[in-house]
Amino acid sequence: MGTNLKPLTGFRDFAPRERLQSRYLFETWARVARKYGFSEYEAPILESAELYLKKSGGELSEQLFRFEDKGGRDVVLRPELTASLARIAAAQQRDYPKPLKWFEIGRCFRYEKPQRGRLREFYQFNADLLGETSPSADAELIALSIDVMRELGFAEGEIIVRLSDREAWLTFCRSRGINDSELDAFLQIVDKIERDPDEKLRARLAPFDVDLESIREFIANAGPESSQNIRAVLTDLTARGLDRFTEIDLSIVRGLAYYTGVVFEVFDSSKALRSVAGGGRYDSLISIVTDGATDLPATGYAMGDCVIMELLNETPGPLAQFQAWQQRQATCDAFVVIADESKRLEAVRLVNSLREAGFGADYPLTPTKINKQFRAADQTLARFAFVVGSEYPELKLKNLNARTEESLSPNANPIDVLRARLDEPDGPLIA
Amino acid sequence: MGTNLKPLTGFRDFAPRERLQSRYLFETWARVARKYGFSEYEAPILESAELYLKKSGGELSEQLFRFEDKGGRDVVLRPELTASLARIAAAQQRDYPKPLKWFEIGRCFRYEKPQRGRLREFYQFNADLLGETSPSADAELIALSIDVMRELGFAEGEIIVRLSDREAWLTFCRSRGINDSELDAFLQIVDKIERDPDEKLRARLAPFDVDLESIREFIANAGPESSQNIRAVLTDLTARGLDRFTEIDLSIVRGLAYYTGVVFEVFDSSKALRSVAGGGRYDSLISIVTDGATDLPATGYAMGDCVIMELLNETPGPLAQFQAWQQRQATCDAFVVIADESKRLEAVRLVNSLREAGFGADYPLTPTKINKQFRAADQTLARFAFVVGSEYPELKLKNLNARTEESLSPNANPIDVLRARLDEPDGPLIA
């Protein structure tokens, strides 16, 4: 084929099979968020560059899809949601009772080298809790992050949430003579402590009067006594029975400059130890974004779709759960088979009345061999087929799973019969 | 407030109240599409500029958000979906049974002067039927477009679908000595026949040997005899009882060059006569986009979210239906009121077990006055509140709509009681 039918590098097409898997993920995200009392919001895909340059710092600003629009505006495809959320919350918070519990599912864009689990266009689930400083808000969000994984079928031992607290690092730094203004630069080094080689870490630590060993020791010796916030979060999670999904790990500091307190990341517990989600408290961000006009404490959490989908496809329990769900996503309740073309309009009328009654119904748009029609019915995962043939107005109703058949007299209402049959169990679906 | 908290011109923020209305629309679109046997797909937001320049012609190419990415690629934010669909369908069609019935709900971007019903970022619902030349495919799609409106609550007389056929115009042009290659240029004039002043139309018609009156006459005298395709479509729609929502109107030609046969637009029937959706057959487009590698006949339809939302908010029936739906979107089944702070952890445990049982549950994250907690419960539209107080493990369960209350003994399982109570009717919701 001469033409390039592929999407841009780092972008994905979602034909129906792939889309169904996204839908499973999105519906799970939304269901758990709603159970927790979060309401959905959405922000524009395109924002002024200033909004995102103002806050993120670090890597993000180098990964922007940034351009000038026809009106000369400096704009970006949003690389994440937090700055947009801060803007919208600041503008509209007066219209909503506090705290705000808001969630979002949408696309973000980062110009990175595409690799496993990292693409240029991806979906992200965001849940944020605004207007509440208490660690109970952090606990609520961490519980949500655990329940998303549980709802996807991950069991204890398959995932772990690592808890940390930037305030513990603030205390550490102050005790070592590191200025509060240098905290972020220092934490950028800590952020890489498990990935960068020791020489590199030592070189970057040179401006600070702290050696690598004492940082490692501080991390190794961390416990509930290291942070009052973490203690409060753990007490709350213990009441929920969710503490068993967590561990304290001060090496988690999150790359972005805007975090202020408790931070956390969700990992798969396998050797790969990939981070599937993360978040934390960002009490100053809304004030920064609004130039001080609005001050709302906040804690938030985000999960992309790439790593979790990889993990889901590799983990037997969650994968089996997804496949069982997929089996139930019939595009059609009843397929109308046209056995006699002279009855096509009668068949179309039946299709229409099935749909009016709320059922999914499909049928062949042109004359088609009967066995091909039944194959099409199977492909829609339809449980039932009506056969419209020469004996019309008598109809046949076939149960495609049980391979049984009944005749419907002209007096029977096919809608009522189908409704009754759909309510009857007919054994497990064919796997 | 010194800072600009607004989105870019022509872009919208969707705080939870606005998002709920979008959700209602999206769920309706998806429900009707699935009833008709359409499967969801999705395409990237960003595509190569070439893909969209290749096909659309006309206005669209002037309205592109187009830029060069960091890798030097000439890219666009998609202005619509059809070229992306053509690309994906050509690449993946072998993996799916024909005809393909695919739908999509997503964002599109056009740099236009923002005005009522027209924004720079908008949502669009797309349904396309690929691999079928029969007018029954056009009828299926037109029926879908009518049922979307009916499902939103629009009644007969409130909307009208205007049917046309580019083939009828092809015949007209041939009889007047207009070349097939000039058809598109000629139809661009017809497209504006109801909007542009006569002088302008006459001037634009100068290169063609046809006067304005004969065009007007052709449109005025059109009927089923004007088009074999329209006759077939109407026969099909009549069997469905949907012909009463249609009229033949050859002035509908659709602006884009790629349409080839039956075209249609859905209008509101009020004086404003706004077009809320439109579509038609585009049998050559997939071949154009794939440089001839894949040839799939196709018919499709798209509806944006802006005009329909305006119309919905102005039309009493559909608006009442939306508001009734909105009333049912409680973010919470049960609110847990903490009447005694010393029982906070017990309350958190109850919240957690409610959520584990699948209920939406919420509670105050910090010590809050009782009446404020009940106000918060009302704001979530919760039907029930559990009260955790000094008498714990005894609980109170309040029905917030019926204003009744019962005490639950420590032996009662609050989950079971709530499930039973939620299943009982308690009269209409408070409006």
Q: CA B260 to CA B280: how far, in whole Å?
A: 8
Structural domain B330-423, CATH architecture: 3-Layer(aba) Sandwich (3.40)
CA distance B132 to B296: 8
The CATH number, out of the four listed (3.30.930.10, 1.20.140.10, 3.30.70.20, 2.40.50.140), of the domain defined by the range B16-324: 3.30.930.10
pLDDT score at A249: 96
Radius of gyration of chain A (CA): 28
Helices B135-151, B16-35: axis angle to 10 degrees equals 140
pLDDT digits (tens, 9 = 90+) for A195-212: 899 999 999 999 998 999
Residue B13 to residue A44, Cβ atoms within 8 A: yes
pLDDT tens for residues B271-330?
Answer: 777 899 999 999 999 998 888 889 999 999 999 999 999 999 999 999 999 999 998 888
Summarize the confidence of residues A116-123 as an average pLDDT.
Answer: 93
Mean pLDDT of chain B: 93
On whether the CB atoms of residues A101 and A298 are closer than 8 A, the answer is no
| pLDDT for res B428 | 47
If you average pLDDT over residues A99-109, what whole number do you get? Answer: 98
- Pick the closest to residue B305 from B61, B83, B126 (CA basis): B126
- What is the pLDDT, as a whole number, of residue A426? 64
A192, two tokens? 């890489």
Instruction: End-to-end CA distance of chain B: give it in Å, rounded.
Output: 36
pLDDT at B331: 79
What are phi and psi for residue A304, nearest 5 degrees? -80, 170
Query: Tell me: the pLDDT tens digits for B141-177?
Result: 999 999 999 999 999 999 999 999 999 999 999 999 9
pLDDT(A318) > 60: yes
Integer-rounded Cα radius of gyration of chain B: 28
CA atoms B147, A328, A16, B98: torsion sign: negative
pLDDT 10s digits, B257-270: 789 999 999 999 98
Q: Which residues fall within 8 angstroms of residue A225, CB to CB, at 6 or more apart?
A: A231
Amino acid B256: pLDDT = 76
Shortest CA distance to B193 belongs to which of B239, B253, B146? Answer: B253
Do A68 and B67 lie within an 8 Å CB cutoff?
A: yes
Phi, psi at A330, each rounded to 5°: -60, 135
pLDDT, one tens digit per residue, over A123-180 is 999 999 999 999 999 999 999 999 999 999 999 999 999 999 999 999 999 999 999 8
Query: Is B120:B10 a contact under the CB 8 Å cutoff?
Result: yes
CB contact under 8 A, A8 and B111: no
Cα A204 to Cα A30, A249, A253: the distances in Å are 42, 22, 17
Instruction: Find the closest chain A residue to B28 by CA distance.
Output: A358
Q: Which residues contact B390 (CB under 8 A, 6 or more apart)?
A: B339, B340, B342, B343
- Average pLDDT of every residue of chain A: 93
What's the CA gap between A401 and B247, in Å, rounded?
42
What is the pLDDT confidence band of residue B58, given thresholds at 50, 70 and 90?
low
φ, ψ dihedrals at A181, nearest 5°? -70, -20
Partners of residue A44 in chain B, C-beta under 8 Å: 7-8, 11-13, 121
Distance separating alpha carbons of residues A46 and A42, to the nearest angstrom: 12
Which residue does chain A place closest to B349, by CA atoms? Answer: A240
As to burial, measured by CB atoms within 10 angstroms (0-12 exposed, 13-18 middle, 19+ buried), residue A249 is middle
| HSE-up of residue B120 (Cα within 13 Å, Cβ side) | 23
* Mean per-residue pLDDT, A327-331: 84
Residue B429 has pLDDT above 50, yes or no: no
Cβ(A135)–Cβ(A232) under 8 Å? Answer: yes
Confidence band of B57 (pLDDT split at 50, 70, 90): low
pLDDT at residue B2, rounded to an integer: 46
Distance from the Cα of A271 to chain B's closest Cα (Å) equals 29
For the stretch A5-60, pLDDT in tens is 999 999 999 999 999 999 999 999 999 999 999 999 999 999 999 999 876 555 67
CA distances from A41 to A109, A387, A417, B244 (A): 18, 46, 42, 39
Name chain A contacts of B147, Cβ cutoff 8 Å. Answer: 355
Q: Considering only alpha carbons, which residue of chain A is nearest residue B288?
A: A3
d(CA A386, CA A393): 12
- pLDDT at residue A351 tops 70: yes
Give contacts of B109 with chain A, Cβ < 8 Å. Answer: 45-46
CB nearest B5 (choices: A9, A87, A362) = A87
Show the DSSP H helices in A282-384 as ranges: 285-289, 306-314, 316-327, 344-356, 370-379
pLDDT, position A91: 95
Q: What are phi and psi of A417, to 5 degrees?
A: -65, -45
Contact yes or no for B121 and A44 at CB 8 A? yes
Among chain B residues, CA nearest to A345? B239
Supply the DSSP symbol for B115.
B
If one compares B103 and B179, the residue with the highest pLDDT of the two is B103
Asked whether the beta carbons of A108 and B46 are under 8 A apart, the reply is no
pLDDT tens, position by position, A408-427: 999 999 999 999 999 887 65
Domain edges within chain B = 16-324, 330-423
Average pLDDT over residues A67-76: 96
pLDDT per residue as tens digits for the range B6-39: 999 999 999 999 999 999 999 999 999 999 999 9
Counting every residue written for chain B, the total comes to 431
DSSP A226: G
* A16-324 and A330-423: identical CATH topology: no
Inter-chain residue contact B3 with A290, CB threshold 8 Å: yes
